[in-house]
Amino acid sequence: MAMADNGRVVCKCTAARRSFFCFREISFDDKPNRRNHLRNVSAVPVFKNGIFTRCSPSVAGNSILSMDARENPRSSILPSSRDKRIPIYVMMPVDAFCIDGSGRPRIRKIKALTVALKALKLAGVHGIAVEVWWGIVERFSPLAYDWSLYEELFKLISESGLKLHVALSFHSNVNSSSSRKGGVSLPLWIVEIGDQNKHIYYRDQNGFSNDDYLTLGVDHVPLFCGRTALQCYEDFMSNFAKKFESFIGTVIEEISVGLGPSGELRYPAHPFGDGRWKFPGIGEFQCYDKYMMDDLKMAACKEGKPQWGERGPQNAGCYNSLPSEVPFFEEGEESFLSDYGCFFLEWYSGRLLRHADDILAKAANFLKKYQENKQTNILLAAKIGGIYWWYQTVSHPAELTAGYYNTALRDGYDPVASILSRHGAALHVSCLEMTDGDNPASYLCSPEGLLQQIWTVSKKRVHLIGRNTNERFDRVGLWQIHANCYHSQAEAVRSFTYFRMNDKIFRAENWNNFVPFVRKMNTNL
């Protein structure tokens, strides 16, 4: 999960032009010390009493969690990528766009951006990652799409000799924007519906809504001028494919489809923009809108336990709780290991998996003709959040509240890989710049262990593409990215997205680290 959004519009490019063309080569041979082996999930100690109960199968999650046996031929063994160069994409600044006085979107500081693109191309960067915002394109009324901003931007990037990774973004970044200015909301006509019906957004146990993304509870409910949320996403993707058909597979080489907050497949359990949550809090379950609660009630009735559908866990703490003080994430009769706990977590994670399955099926359908055409090159991708804090506990509470039913006793990422494999989609993972020692030991973090688990479940099934979570320009951080992209125990990632372009990247001390890093990634092993 992107913990901070450090993007700034490129505004010092002109002043930095000299450094663009005076690259000083720095060797990466002096590798920082790093562990030879990553922590494996099976190494996490079990409960102090050595007692746990096996979760019995539940109807709440069976339809999704058993997908392994129903993967289509796209899940066949992938060709090795060990000896291939890794293309680098650099994500556009978060505030590269603005809304002018007439209400139309436009590119800010286009001359500076043009200089920056040329510099990145000279440095060996392969392409630019661009968020294509639902809230910009279908801003004012349903089915009224305005692609003019992206027509101009894609042309500018293409003319600079760069390729595109397009992130179809169905979320808002208003709350996560560090300045709270210039962010992109959901479409205004969606916001108007939300003003009348707050239940179209995810809700926590205290009734607070998160308006960054529509709740998956409305995926199949026709609340949006006669359309369901899923139909809105499908229409948007279809119109995008029609508008940019000549770019797809030629200039546009990767398309990631937004599946939740920050574009990631997860619940907004850790809302870092409004002050409710602070790292390393465990977060809260986000299932209290009426549509998800109705679904929970139906699942509980099917299970023969209607009382389980009345509410979510009542002993799961709050956003900033620590695991040791929360009964649901410890051992006991009412914990995550109880029959109720297993039922709820299977339902909660299962609905998230179904959400991904539904949207990716639509995306894969419109990309099929490009993927079957040998003259084009296009990759579908889906992001997951990097929830690495409390990973070394048995319950993995931060992952559970985010919707990943992953514990020391259960693999929660295998069903995610199964769904992506069915649709031929790559898994977009974060945290590639991190080590376990980057955070206080008391937080029991393990980004390395999380990555090791994801590498294991994805092996030979889905491609991986990577990104960093925190902005890093130092050699140690960049080398960690390189080491993870070419990890000895996994296939090399298909591509890497650097998060993200801003004026800092072009400062001499940072540029002189970034350029050798890009060139190293461009060198075949």
End-to-end CA gap in the chain: 30
- Asked if residues 11 and 108 have their Cβ atoms less than 8 Å apart, the reply is no
**What pLDDT was estimated at residue 289?**
98
Q: Which residue has the tokens 């700034």?
A: 8
Phi (first) and psi of residue 345, to 5 degrees = -70, -35
Q: State the Cα angle at 133 between 129 and 139, rounded to 5°.
A: 160
pTM: 0.86
**What pLDDT was estimated at residue 181?**
55
Question: 99: which 2 tokens?
Answer: 């809304």
How far apart (Å, rounded) are the C-alpha atoms in residues 269 and 204? 8
Going by C-alpha positions, the residue among 202, 301, 220 that lies closest to residue 261 is: 202
Phi (first) and psi of residue 517, to 5 degrees = -60, -45
**What pLDDT was estimated at residue 277?**
97
Q: How far is CA 385 from the centre of its chain?
A: 5
Catalogue all structural domains in the chain, each as residue range(s) with its CATH number. Answer: 88-284+350-522 (3.20.20.80)
**What pLDDT was estimated at residue 376?**
80
**What pLDDT was estimated at residue 452?**
95
Q: Which residue has the tokens 């790559």?
A: 426
Question: 108: which 2 tokens?
Answer: 């800010």
In sequence order, the β-bridge partners of residue 427 are: 382, 464
The DSSP-derived string for 424-435 is TEEEEE--TT--
**What pLDDT was estimated at residue 53?**
39
Per-residue pLDDT of the chain (525 residues; tens, 9 = 90+): 444 443 333 333 333 333 333 333 334 344 443 333 333 333 333 333 333 333 444 444 444 444 443 455 454 445 554 457 999 999 999 888 888 877 788 999 999 999 999 999 999 999 999 999 999 999 999 999 999 999 999 999 999 999 999 999 999 998 765 544 568 999 999 999 999 999 999 999 999 999 999 999 999 999 999 999 999 999 999 999 999 999 999 999 999 999 999 999 999 999 987 889 999 999 999 999 999 999 999 999 999 999 999 999 999 999 999 999 999 999 888 999 999 999 999 999 999 999 999 999 999 999 998 888 877 889 999 999 999 999 999 999 999 999 999 999 999 999 999 999 999 999 999 999 999 999 999 999 999 999 999 999 998 899 999 999 999 999 999 999 999 999 877 788 999 999 999 999 999 999 999 999 999 998 854
